[in-house]
Amino acid sequence: MEVLKLEYIKKQLRGIEMMNSLISITKRRVIKYEAVIQCAFYLLNYHKNDINYKGTNVLDWRKVRSMFNNLFIIKLLSYSHRGNEIVIVIY
């Protein structure tokens, strides 16, 4: 069920209108729910020093704003939440 939800969300994000609305976030000075954006960057293997203020866990919006572009959205859409399947053999 969760897989279907995520696939539906990915399908919605592929729309031009949704992409433009995500890109329009970069025009804002203050953002709400910055932890969600921070987690998205962590999921896409961005390093802590690249997106946070030096020596803290606080999101540096000035840095992140420049990285929040079409490439970020493409990475987000190509992210696979499924890991390797673990096979347990019982003897």
* C-alpha atoms less than 13 angstroms from C-alpha of 7 in its C-beta half-sphere: 5
* Number of domains composing the chain: 1
Domain-embedded: residue 59: yes
Cβ partners under 8 Å of residue 61, min gap 6: 29, 30, 31, 34
pLDDT band at 17 (very low <50, low <70, confident <90, very high): confident
pLDDT band at 22 (very low <50, low <70, confident <90, very high): confident
Domain-embedded: residue 67: yes
Q: Which amino acid belongs to residue 67?
A: M
pLDDT surpasses 70 at 1: no
Domain-embedded: residue 11: yes
Paired tokens of 85: 């399947």
Q: Which domain holds residue 61?
A: 2-78
Percent of the chain with pLDDT over 90: 7
CA 43 to chain centre: 6
